[in-house]
Structure 1
Amino acid sequence: MRRGDCRRRVTGRGDGRRRVTGRGDDDRGQVSIEFLGMTPLILLTLVLVWQAVLVGYTFTLAGNAADEGVRAGTAVAPGERSGVCREAALRDLPDAWRGGAGVECGGSGFVTADVSLRVPVLFPGLIGFPATVKGHAGAVEEVKH
């Protein structure tokens, strides 16, 4: 008996080819096991990428809301500015961001709007990070003749 004969068996397949089988030679299912091991890492990566998208989108929303608020605030009298600015800033915000939004408008001659939004965690509308994203915009007051 040669070395290794007890672990391997050579079988004929009937088509002239030979197949060697043994305990250490079979790696069927290996890809499935490796994928199963990588699944948590893949899911964690997807969650982190999605959260980064939400942070970026919140920055975009805050900047746009500030722009809209200051644009509306420059076209009205100083006494009406705060209410009109706040309404315009909140008008286009999605409901999930509107709830915790803070809007401050002011200035004379140079109108400013500051919008603070909370970044949602994974699903907009459920919970938000304690930190806020701020958007700022300013424009010169329109002169009325």
Structure 2
Amino acid sequence: MRRDRGAVMVEFAGIFPLILLLFAVAWQCAVIGYGFHLAGNAADEAARAAAAAGGGEGACGTAAREHIPASWSMSVSCPLEGVVRTARVELQVPVLFPGAFNLPITISGTAGAVEEDR
């Protein structure tokens, strides 16, 4: 019994980095999922704003940026395809939290809205 003293502490010290890694991977998956949510919502709002503005590429970009936190890197395009204004929002995936480094992965959200007559 005396020889086993401290064994639990050594085992915990060995497994603790793996536990931290598991939490980091789970958190990164949550950040990626949140990015998909942000991109889709921003694309919806951008398409609606551009369609209502009647050809407002500027309205599209402004509406998308209003729905994405400033710490996320993004790009927006809103081409007119026939009578449908299509908004495409692309986000860079941050590593663990926005504002630091980005993974070499791009998340995109696309939405369309019919151009309104004025």
The one of 75, 79, 97 equivalent to 1:106 is 79
The one of 37, 62, 68 equivalent to 1:87 is 62
Q: Which runs of 5+ in 1 are unaligned?
A: 1-24
Could you say which structure has the larger radius of gyration?
Answer: 1
Shift of 1:28: 2.9
User: Where is the helix percentage greater, Structure 1 or Structure 2?
Assistant: 2
CA distance in 2, matches of 1:77, 1:123: 36
Q: What letter is aligned with 1:115?
A: V
Structure 2 residue aligned with 1:71: 48
Question: Is the partner of 1:137 in helix, strand or coil?
Answer: strand
CA distance in 1, matches of 2:54, 2:10: 69
Q: Kindly report the root-mean-square deviation, in angstroms, between the aligned alpha carbons of the 2 structures.
A: 1.3
CA distance in 2, matches of 1:136, 1:72: 14
Higher RCO structure, 1 or 2 (CA under 8 Å, sep 6+): 2
Percent identity, aligned pairs only, is 48
Q: Which runs of 5+ in 2 are unaligned?
A: none
Question: Is the partner of 1:39 in helix, strand or coil?
Answer: helix
Question: In the comparison of the two structures, how many residue pairs are matched?
Answer: 116
TM-score after normalising by structure 1: 0.74
CA distance in 2, matches of 1:124, 1:86: 20
The one of 22, 27, 32 equivalent to 2:9 is 32
CA distance in 2, matches of 1:63, 1:106: 17
